[in-house]
Amino acid sequence: MTMTEDNTMMLPEEALNRFQKPDTALLGLDVSAHDYQQPRYGFKVSNVGLLISPETMCEVMKNFTVYPVPNTKPWMHGLVNLRGNLIPVYDLSMLLGLSEYPVAHKNLLVMDKGSDSVGILIDTLPQPCDLRRCKKLSHVPNLPAGLKNCIADAYSVDDVLWLGFNHKEYFHYLMDTVSIS
């Protein structure tokens, strides 16, 4: 950790952000903001592709144990312990009405950090999506309830629909509309 002038510790984020980026023109490099497009990753839930926001921190867990929570909906699988934090785990295919029964999933995608963390059961690893190859759709097609308001953009590539998924908005919507039975 880095010390400040009054001998207190800086937060790691503050220590890393205190530096300014070098002027690449001095190095003979012409790196323009438009030259680099941050990659987008996506994952599939049944036949729907959901794009993860580039700003969202994610990780994939294998060999995880989900601890069930009594008296919850079937799509709420329970909680997983991630480095001492309890993360809710959801089966989006059931939640979105794309599947009627829970299925054993191989991977757990943990999106975000802290109190915003959610776990989503997935079968395959998230894959990079090159949006330059995708056709941007002018309107979002009909989607399951609650999902339409959480989609920023929609793309089509090789007959697969990819949706810009705002997971925070979706799970806040879910918390506001769903009661525990």
Q: How far apart are CA 164 and CA 51, in angstroms?
A: 5
Structural fold of domain 55-127: OB fold (Dihydrolipoamide Acetyltransferase, E2P) (2.40.50)
Report domain extents, the chain.
55-127, 138-181
pLDDT in tens, 89-143: 999 888 888 778 777 788 999 999 888 899 999 988 999 888 777 888 887 777 7
Q: Output the six-digit token pair for 1.
A: 């950790």
Mean pLDDT of 139-161: 80
pLDDT bracket for residue 180 (50, 70, 90)? very low
Residue 16 has pLDDT above 90, yes or no: no
Minimum mean pLDDT among 17-26, 71-80, 86-95: which range? 17-26
SS3 62: coil
Closest CA to 120 of 58, 54, 41: 58
pLDDT digit string, tens, across residues 43-75 = 988 778 899 988 899 999 998 999 999 998 888
> Do the beta carbons of residue 119 and residue 88 sit within 8 Å?
yes
Distance CA 167, CA 53 (A): 9
d(CA 107, CA 63): 8
